[in-house]
A and B are shown apart, each in its own frame.
Chain A
Amino acid sequence: QVQLEQSGAEVKRPGASMKISCKASGHSVANFYMHWVRQAPGQGLEWMGIINLSGVTAHYAQKFQGRVTMTRDTSSNTVYMELASLTSDDTAIYYCARKAGTGGRHFDLWGRGTLITVS
């Protein structure tokens, strides 16, 4: 079954860092770009960035520049998103979402989300 399985909910202290995993099954992370998107309580979705096919290059939303790092491990078929210097504003559900292939400008597969609470 093709799916994205995300790591579990966490509570973090302000100033700490977090690292979320997104493990792919039924497909290879080496063949797709992967986005990260978050939704704060009562807010809409917010795009954070994307990691490309090679896993070497990532493009981040300006808001998160310098604080976010997206990586990929093809051996475990997993992508990761690390966010540093957490504040209460980072309390949100974080989603990984696969970019549709062949030039698609949409997301054809999502994870169920990971709740991060900063308190």
Chain B
Amino acid sequence: QSALTQPASVSGSPGQSITISCNGTNSDIGAYDYVSWYQHHPDRAPTLLIYDVTHRPSGVSLRFSGSKSGNVASLTISGLQADDEADYFCCSYTSFSPLFGGGTKLTVL
């Protein structure tokens, strides 16, 4: 299976909102509500931001939200902060295994 498709990079100014898309197919994102999003700062362990499309684990800021429409999942970060500058990747379970996006580098201007 091909990886999920994410934009290579996005950017925004502090206080703004940005959205990162994650494009899949009707065999992965379109078939299951098992999309998750992760934040990855260099040299740190990735951390879970969103699971099951829209759910936030306890401790994750309300500024992070997830959604899905058809075969496309999205992560929205509102009120951008400097510490949000990181890599973000999506994941969708398929009937066989987890499938990941290529990752998106967020730059806070």
Contact = CB atoms under 8 A, between A and B. Distances in A.
Contacts of A111: 45
B100 A37 contact: yes
Nearest to A46: B100
Q: How large is the interface on B (under 10, 10 to 19, 20 to 34, 35 or more residues)?
A: 20 to 34
A44 B45 contact: no
B98 to A, nearest CB: 5
Interface stretch (B13-21, B32-40, B67-75, B77-85): B32-40
B12 interface: no
A112 B44 contact: yes
A24 interface: no
Nearest to B3: A44
A29 B98 CA distance: 20
A105 B97 contact: no
B61 to A, nearest CB: 17
B45 to A, nearest CB: 4
Interface string B79-109: 0000000000101010001111111000000
Interface string A94-119: 01010010001111111111000000
